[in-house]
Structure 1
């Protein structure tokens, strides 16, 4: 499984708390927005993993571990229509200047990646389109977990 805890703190006013005492630095960093591109670029585009393994690592295995499979983590009749439309050929340079996270830096600032998420559907509804969040507020749902299901 490849995931991110996505626990960002801005440098200004938050990370700067540890300037003179490292024990006061809030722990965590931003990562969720670029996770798919980073994994695709470093895995599939560089020949380290197959496209099927990419899907398994970023979707199916997590759904199984959290007891949400097959409602989540697969495209099948009866499953939620959670789908990512991903352009494997588009390239971008990661920067805090163009990301959508409410944080003033990126740990991957200046990294060029191949593979960009274009559209995201959640339960069949478009929630991200052309890289912009378009979902209506309050559309989330509580997901009751099942038992742990080994990803293998």
Structure 2
């Protein structure tokens, strides 16, 4: 407000912080915020797991008491939260997280999650009735593209846009597990979570790069994306 500039709050995790964003937006300020699956589905009790398992849930911001979870879902529905990200920052439990077994300050700060973002938000958002399918697409694709200056090149299926398309199987059942995920980390924060809805095929610029859980993309096919200083969401 003092600088006359937009602000984007990352990894919002509590009702108190959400209230600050809501008040700013109600005053017409260009304030935007995101949250992450861990803050929508997990709580501070995870840190109390025995046998040092709680170290898997050491990251910043920390997990909050359970009463914050429904408030964040309400924020996504009401558009006071505009994006769901992950803050993906994994460290293996066996040889990295355990460095802090005798000293909390030495526990690497971060956790994995990028692979399961869509599954978790679709299952616990759309399947539960908290979010519409359209809202699911907005918070995971369209709005991020707008905010970060990539729209309409990204974030929409339209003539002239990149043909980046996810074909979604809304009936697919999946159990999240470190035994089957593709992330290079030996645990999942959502181990054992059962979800309905999963990626079937992914196209990048019209080329199939994922099909039936197999990555088919080729090294070097990426392209630099020049972004606008301010996307449409800032206006």
Q: TM-score range by the shorter chain?
A: over 0.9
Aligned CA distance change for structure 1 residues 34 and 94 (closer, same or farther; 3 Å): same
**Does the 8 Å contact 1:60/1:151 carry over to 2?**
no
**Does structure 2 conserve the Cα–Cα contact (< 8 Å) formed by 1:62 and 1:151?**
no
- Per the normalisation by structure 1, the TM-score is 0.96
For residues 80-118 of structure 1, the C-alpha deviation after alignment (integer angstroms, 9 at most, x for no partner) is 011001111111110000111111000000000110111
In the alignment, which of 200, 212, 215 is matched to residue 118 of structure 1? 200
* Superposed CA offset, 1:42-89 (max 9, x none): 110000010000000100000011100000000000000110011111
Matches within 5 A, 1:26-65: 26-65=108-147
- Contact 1:66–1:148 (8 Å) recurs in 2: yes
Q: Which residue pairs with 2:102 in the alignment? A: 20
Q: Distance in 1 between matches of 2:230 and 2:88?
A: 23
Task: Output the TM-score relative to the length of structure 2.
Answer: 0.63
Matched residues, number: 152
In structure 1, runs of 5+ residues without a counterpart are: none
Q: Which has the larger radius of gyration?
A: 2
How much does 1:148 deviate?
2.4
**Aligned counterparts of 2:143 and 2:211: Cα–Cα separation in 1:** 25
3-state SS of 1:54 partner: helix
Which residue in 1 is equivalent to 2:28? none
Distance 2:91 2:234 in 1: 32
Question: Deviation string for 1:5-38 (max 9, x for gaps)?
Answer: 2111111111111111111111211111111000
Tell me which of 148, 159, 163 is aligned to 1:77.
159
Q: CA–CA distance in 2 between the matches of 1:49 and 1:136?
A: 35
Is the Cα–Cα contact under 8 Å of residues 6 and 29 in structure 1 kept in the other structure?
yes
Q: Does 1:97 align with 2:179?
A: yes
- Structure of greater relative contact order (alpha carbons < 8 Å, 6+ residues apart): 1
* Runs of 4+ more than 2 Å apart: none
Cα distance in structure 2, aligned partners of 1:104 and 1:148:
38
